[in-house]
Chain A
Amino acid sequence: MSSIGTGYDLSASTFSPDGRVFQVEYAMKAVENSSTAIGIRCKDGVVFGVEKLVLSKLYEQGSNKRIFNVDRHVGMAVAGLLADARSLSEVAREEASNFRSNYGHNIPLKHLSERVAMYVHAYTLYSAVRPFGCSFILGSYDQDDGPQLYMVDPSGISYGYWGCAIGKAKQAAKTEIEKLQVRILLEPSLRQGKILLNCLICVCYCYQQMKDMTCRELVKEVAKIIYIVHDEVKDKSFELELSWVGEVTNGKHELVPKDVREEAEKYAKDSLEEEDDSDEDNM
């Protein structure tokens, strides 16, 4: 639904006649140009997956991170203009650190995401500055609140999610996330050619299922989703960045260990091949 707002899109301090702030919408388009990042919340933690497009073979592997540590128990996955995202990660770090310094305990994620969202929103009010051209997903795990997942977009709004995706393949990724458990349920019946009619019941059952997964199971599914939504034709090679925070890491947000990542990537590649094979059978 893109439209050109000629004349009303020169600064963030101008509304268009139909009530839109075009600068903010353009900022969101900048996010859509970037590669995909997803975050999913499960029973005992949160997993992030980022499709990091490799623009040059000369890049050192593992550099140019898209997932940041904001506090010991909070991680942040970004999409959009990376420089903007890095500066926001510093803002988030300061907020979390000041909170701990003033109040003596871990910052609740809802509060952190509201504070950073407020900061992002401030840049959508004035013509002297431009809005931030990045969206980010914040995830945390804490003994008392459990796993939490919030997403902030350039308009300065923050929502809590069970699973969300940002970046160029966000629609496809969201569909995959919703399908996550349906596929598991439907797999055996599909092979027999049955069709499940009541999708609504499935989706509800899905959310029940997603909430029951552990981090270890979810890491593989996240890797698979990134592999599925990656466009082999338009984009070349990519590096998969995976991180998690939950019971499995004792509440510490960190990049997934090498062996777990390799296992997840193997699972993802194998499932993709399987799907290709099953397509052939149907033909």
Chain B
Amino acid sequence: MAAYMSAGRSENAFSTHDFVPEWAQEEVSTGTTIMAVEFDGGVVIGADSRTTTGAYIANRVTDKLTPIHDHIFCCRSGSAADTQAVADAVTYQLGFHSIELDEPPLVQTAANLFQQMCYRYREELMAGIIVAGWDKRRGGQVYTVPMGGMIVRQPVSVGGSGSSYIYGFMDSNYKPGMTKEECLHFCTQALALAMERDGSSGGVARLAAITEEGLERRVVLGHQLPKFSNT
């Protein structure tokens, strides 16, 4: 089964059978909106909660914010299977590395591990990942590892199929030096806008703030999301 995600491509080499509905032949995709923002002292990450197989919503309450280590998370977009597999592999490697070093791992290390796997298997994988977290050396950091396996550190990053609709919002509303609450508000609004327009994004908005103290998770339910149109 080819799982196909946010990119909106159909790569079905299999023939259709009458006894299996079309959506069951589609790949499970986290057609998605994900984002992460750095602030002084940590990061805020956010994602929608919709997983689709074709037009069917396989899971409307997905958690796309996956812990890789105590203070490092990743936001997953693309094929659900691919991103889960890569995240599991990196979690294992990073855990081992952290024990060897006898200190908490750097966000940069986690991002590099993702990048190496995504680049090496770029032909087989469909995974767009944002790695974000806090470490003692450089504080809050966001690294984006899009499909193809590049890596770049950015103060704010968006990803997934819904991201196309919010680049304008991000560019005009992001200001450096925001506080944690301002970042959370910014993310909520951005996710709400993307979820409104992108068919592959929706459900609830999941947010998390990662700082030295630890993790704080929030969920903004559908009816609580900010509304931007009058209708």
A positions within 8 Å CB-CB of B: 102-105, 108, 110-111, 144
Pick from A104, A111, A144: contact of B109, CB below 8 A.
Answer: A104
Q: Could you tell me the distance in whole angstroms from the C-beta of B115 to the nearest C-beta in chain A?
A: 8
- In the complex, besides A103-B97, A105-B108, 14 extra interface pairs with C-beta distance below 8 angstroms are A102-B112, A103-B106, A103-B112, A103-B113, A104-B108, A104-B109, A104-B111, A104-B112, A105-B109, A108-B101, A110-B102, A111-B100, A111-B101, A144-B137
Dominant secondary structure at the B interface? helix
Kindly state the separation between the CA atoms of A103 and B100 in the bound complex, as whole angstroms: 13
Kindly state the separation between the CA atoms of A102 and B100 in the bound complex, as whole angstroms: 14
Kindly state the separation between the CA atoms of A111 and B111 in the bound complex, as whole angstroms: 20
Kindly state the separation between the CA atoms of A102 and B169 in the bound complex, as whole angstroms: 36
CB of A102 within 8 A of CB of B108, answer no
User: 8 Å CB contacts to A: which residues of B90-131?
Assistant: 97, 100-102, 106, 108-109, 111-113, 116
B positions within 8 Å CB-CB of A: 97, 100-102, 106, 108-109, 111-113, 116, 137
Inter-chain contacts of A108 with B (CB < 8 A): 101
Pick from B101, B102, B106, B113: contact of A102, CB below 8 A.
Answer: B113
Q: Could you tell me the distance in whole angstroms from the C-beta of B141 to the nearest C-beta in chain A?
A: 12
Q: Could you tell me the distance in whole angstroms from the C-beta of B147 to the nearest C-beta in chain A?
A: 20
Kindly state the separation between the CA atoms of A110 and B108 in the bound complex, as whole angstroms: 19
Kindly state the separation between the CA atoms of A103 and B109 in the bound complex, as whole angstroms: 5
CB pairs A–B below 8 angstroms (20 shown) = A102-B112, A102-B113, A102-B116, A103-B97, A103-B106, A103-B109, A103-B112, A103-B113, A104-B109, A104-B111, A104-B112, A105-B106, A105-B108, A105-B109, A105-B112, A108-B101, A110-B102, A111-B100, A111-B101, A144-B137
Q: Could you tell me the distance in whole angstroms from the C-beta of A131 to the nearest C-beta in chain B?
A: 24
Residue on A nearest B112 in the bound complex, by CB: A104
Inter-chain contacts of A105 with B (CB < 8 A): 106, 108-109, 112
Kindly state the separation between the CA atoms of A105 and B97 in the bound complex, as whole angstroms: 13
Q: Could you tell me the distance in whole angstroms from the C-beta of A209 to the nearest C-beta in chain B?
A: 29
Residue on A nearest B151 in the bound complex, by CB: A104
Kindly state the separation between the CA atoms of A104 and B97 in the bound complex, as whole angstroms: 12
Kindly state the separation between the CA atoms of A49 and B225 in the bound complex, as whole angstroms: 66
Q: Which 6 A-B pairs have the closest CB atoms?
A: A104-B112, A103-B109, A144-B137, A104-B108, A111-B101, A103-B112
Kindly state the separation between the CA atoms of A104 and B113 in the bound complex, as whole angstroms: 8
Q: Could you tell me the distance in whole angstroms from the C-beta of A84 to the nearest C-beta in chain B?
A: 26
Residue on B nearest A100 in the bound complex, by CB: B112
Kindly state the separation between the CA atoms of A144 and B137 in the bound complex, as whole angstroms: 7
Inter-chain contacts of B113 with A (CB < 8 A): 102-103
